[in-house]
Each structure stands twice: as structure tokens, then as C-alpha cells.
Amino acid sequence: MSVRLQVPAEKVPAPGMRAFLMFEGRSIALFNIDAQFYAINDSCPHQGASLWSGKLEGKVIQCCAHGMRFDLGSGYLLNSTQLKLQSYAVEVVDEQLFILMDAGE
């Protein structure tokens, strides 16, 4: 079962931008890239550094701590399937944005 978390309108990032959100103690980075939204846990799976402030090139986010680069679409470390971001589905309903999480997360 999934939980729908509504993103406040003022936190929805403009195209090419990002937003930092806190939901029930979880840090989430939300990106708007070419009218597509991507939501990830704001913790690098390598050693936990924040990804929100990382360098963004297209759909690729680079971790500030060690330079690891992740594809926001797949969640995987570039050129590898060994390390993956925790990502969340995002849906738009009647101009409102929702992040979907498993109830057990």
C-alpha cells in the first residue's frame, strides 16, 4: 500500500529547479527537469551525504561528497547497477503534486 504525500504548492519547483522537503522526518529532494518530476531520498547511498545541493546536469545529480553521479530516471549510479538511490514515484493530479511512498518506508 502506498501513501500519497501532497507537495505544498509553494514547494513545487519551477522547470530546471529543485526543492528540499521534509515529510514525517524524511528528507526528500524534488527535481523538475523538462516538465518531469523526480523525487529521491536526500541521502547518497554511498555514505549518506546530501544530494539536494549536488551539481545537476540534465537528469544526472552529482554527490558533493565524493562526486558519484546518479541518473534521476533510473536511480542508478552512472555506468553501474551496483548502487541505487531511493526514489519515489511522483504524480500530478488536477495541478497538485504528490509523492508516493510505500506505507512501510
Instruction: State the Cα–Cα distance between residues 37 and 59, nearest whole angstrom.
Output: 10
pLDDT at 98 over 70: yes
pLDDT at 105 over 60: no
Parse the chain into domains and list their residue ranges. 2-102
Q: What is the pLDDT of residues 37-93, one digit of tens each?
A: 999 999 998 888 899 999 999 999 999 988 999 999 999 999 988 899 999 999 999
- pLDDT value at position 48? 83
CATH number corresponding to 2-102: 2.102.10.10
The arithmetic mean of pLDDT across residues 4-30, rounded, is 94
Distances (CA, A) of 2 to 17, 34, 88, 98: 26, 26, 10, 11
Instruction: State the Cα–Cα distance between residues 22 and 5, nearest whole angstrom.
Output: 11
With a CB cutoff of 8 Å and minimum separation 6, the contacts of 61 are: 29, 31, 40, 51, 54, 55, 69, 70, 72
- pLDDT value at position 74? 94
Give 102's pLDDT tier (boundaries 50, 70, 90): confident
> Of the candidates 42, 45, 24, 47, which has an alpha carbon nearest to the alpha carbon of residue 88?
42
